[in-house]
Amino acid sequence: MSNARYAVLIGLSVSLVGCGTINTVVRGDEVTRRDLQKRNTYCDSIPRVYSGVAYDLCILHGPSKTITQDLVTPVLLPLRLLDLIPSAVLDTLVLPYTIYRQSTDDSIDLAQ
Our count of domains for the chain comes to 1
Give the tens place of pLDDT for each residue, 71-82: 455 556 676 777
Distance between alpha carbon 58 and the CA centroid of its chain, in Å? 8
Q: How confident is the model at residue 65 (pLDDT cuts 50, 70, 90)?
A: low
**73/53: higher pLDDT:** 53
> pTM value?
0.75
Phi, psi of 45 (to 5 degrees): -160, 160
Among 84, 79, 26, 93, residue whose Cα is nearest residue 56: 84
Domain that holds residue 102: 3-109
